[in-house]
């Protein structure tokens, strides 16, 4: 079987000496103007150990120095060179389009962590807050609820509700700041993706497709943004192969996952 690392252009260039998984020598399967970079594998399930993942990344980094690289997810196997060639033939238009978009680019990741103010404990809420005052009768409460509606337990639950609403409001304000910051950075990139869909996750992540010759200016933009927004903690990582900006489907992972993209 063949373990595939990436799809590249410039197949006339010599392959790097960097060995693949199991120290196997790299080979390439060419279709027209694209090539799949692979090494021989025994077909067993591939465990995602740190050493193996790092070896996969080393191959990608070695390829990046000379070629445009569409990274393939860790663990992708094919039965034969013929099968790889068939995949390249079928996916060729999408591969060429992806290659044109990412050529000369790398991916930079930026994580945004809003530095929220410490939330007050329930028992420290202002006494003027009806939710914190046991025995307070809500003006909007229905008549006839009796003492149970004003018991300490009810007041505690009301206080928790106040805190939860305040937390959600703060989160929306923070996300607005992060989205604006991401938009500012996107002006220095060819493309960007923001993952802000999970309200329960404090860290918001973004990926930017950046031209190689603009890496320094992009990192300077991140530094300026961090200085302008002390309410945000920013972490900049990369440069990486452009995993987040590849769309072509090339196979399946042998790590127990599902379908793979050239990502």
pLDDT band at 100 (very low <50, low <70, confident <90, very high): very high
Which tokens in the block code for residue 109? 């990741």
pTM for this prediction: 0.72
Q: Specify the DSSP element, H or E, that contains 137.
A: none
Between 149 and 78, the more confident residue is 78
Mean pLDDT of 189-200: 80
In this predicted structure, the answer to whether residue 234 has a pLDDT above a threshold of 60 is yes
Which of 239, 256, 232, 251 minimizes the C-alpha distance to 69?
Answer: 239
Mean of pLDDT values over 156-170: 71
Cis peptide bond upstream of 239, omega within 30:
yes
Mean pLDDT over each residue of the chain, to the nearest integer: 81
Assign 112 to helix, strand or coil.
strand
Q: Is the pLDDT assigned to residue 91 strictly greater than 80? A: yes
């Amino acid at each position: 079987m063949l373990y595939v690392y990436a799809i590249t252009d410039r197949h006339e260039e010599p392959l790097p000496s960097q060995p693949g998984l199991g120290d196997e020598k790299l080979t390439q399967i060419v279709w027209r103007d694209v090539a799949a970079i692979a090494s021989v594998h025994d077909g067993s399930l591939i465990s995602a150990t740190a050493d193996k993942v790092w070896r996969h990344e080393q191959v990608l980094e070695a390829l990046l120095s000379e070629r445009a690289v569409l990274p393939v997810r860790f663990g992708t196997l094919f039965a034969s060179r013929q099968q790889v060639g068939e995949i390249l033939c079928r996916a060729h238009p999408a591969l060429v389009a992806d290659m044109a978009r990412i050529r000369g680019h790398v991916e930079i990741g930026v994580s945004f962590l809003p530095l929220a103010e410490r939330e007050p404990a329930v028992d420290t809420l202002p006494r003027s807050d009806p939710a914190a005052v046991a025995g307070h009768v809500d003006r909007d409460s229905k008549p006839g609820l009796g003492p149970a509606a004003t018991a300490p337990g009810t007041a505690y639950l009301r206080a928790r509700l106040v805190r939860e609403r305040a937390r959600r409001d703060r989160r929306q304000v923070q996300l607005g700041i992060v989205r604006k910051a991401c938009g500012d950075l996107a002006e220095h990139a060819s493309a960007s993706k923001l993952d802000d869909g999970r309200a329960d996750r404090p860290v918001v992540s973004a990926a930017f497709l950046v031209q190689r010759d603009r890496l320094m200016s992009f990192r300077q933009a991140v530094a300026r943004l961090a200085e302008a927004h002390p309410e945000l903690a920013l972490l900049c990582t990369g440069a990486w192969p452009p995993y987040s900006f590849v769309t072509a489907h090339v196979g399946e992972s042998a790590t127990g996952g599902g379908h793979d993209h050239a990502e």
